Amino acid sequence: MRIDIITVLPDLLKSPFEGSIMKRAIEKELVEVHFHNLRDYTTNKQKSVDDYQYGGGAGMVMNVQPIDDCILDLKSQRNYDEIIYMTPDGSTLNQKMANSMSMYENIIILCGHYKGVDQRVRDLHITKEISIGDYVLSGGEIGAIVFCDAIIRLIPGVLSDETSALTDSFQDNLLSPPIYTRPAEYKGMKVPDILLSGNFAKIEEWREEKALEHTKNRRPDLLE
Ligand code: ADE
């Protein structure tokens, strides 16, 4: 997968890709991430990328020209499965969306700032709008990092134990059951006997029961 990220803050974006799972995916050459600084595409001397809103109103709006030029430049080099705009009024990201988008070959992610982008950017180029939750961030960069992490870890070969992504919370509309590691007893608190029994059929049954109980308590909406 190749991910092209368009941003006014490339430095803010880089470090999450330099550690942990995303770094490993890049080292294994399963993912390429390219950062494009929007200011490199401006045609004005001040390199400004935003302006006042027509019609009045608080907050600046990102200009169409540098974004259009940047996206056209990228599109002239390859085909993209999706051109994504990170925005609080997009579709809320969930595991099902992450699963399907982890299969893309090339995507562009546009990070918004200030009030957002000129509507003509959306009309011209954007094929999908994604929000990471019902709250407003100062820019799309953090959302882009969240989105990239969610899809990259699902690319086959990225996680060393591939079954571990399959048993994540949400993968089957259930939250994960409780998990334990050594020691078997800590400050009088014991690991449930069943997990030490070696009876894998029973363990699986226990996990399913606990996952259901946990989901009922915490996220009954997932079971509807
Ligand atoms: N940009 C600002 N807020 C956002 C959100 N909640 N999700 C994605 N991008 C955003």
- Map residue 76 onto helix, strand or coil: coil
User: In the prediction, which pLDDT does 163 show?
Assistant: 64
Ranges of the chain with pLDDT below 50? none
| CB contact at 8 A, 137 and 143 | yes
User: What per-residue confidence (pLDDT) applies to 220?
Assistant: 96
Best mutation site among 132, 134, 141 for ligand 1, i.e. most ligand atoms within 8 A of its Cβ?
Answer: 132
Rounded distance from Cα 110 to ligand 1 centre (Å): 11
CA of 198 relative to ligand 1 center, distance in Å: 45
For residue 102, the model assigns a pLDDT of 97
Atom 10 of ligand 1, nearest CA residue: 87
Q: Report the mean per-residue pLDDT for the chain.
A: 95
Does residue 174 come out as left (phi exceeding 0), alpha (psi in the -120 to 50 range) or beta?
A: beta
CA of residue 135 to ligand 1 center, whole Å: 7
Mutate which of 6, 7, 86, 97 for ligand 1 pocket (most atoms within 8 A of beta carbon): 86
Distance (angstroms) between ligand 1 centre and the Cα of 90 equals 8
Q: Domains of the chain (ranges plus CATH)?
A: 2-152 (3.40.1280.10), 167-223 (1.10.1270.20)
Q: Output the known binding site.
A: 112, 132-137
Give the torsion sign (CA, 64, 67, 69, 75). Answer: negative
Q: Above 0.95 for ipTM, yes or no?
A: yes
Residue 210: CA count within 13 A, CB half-sphere: 14
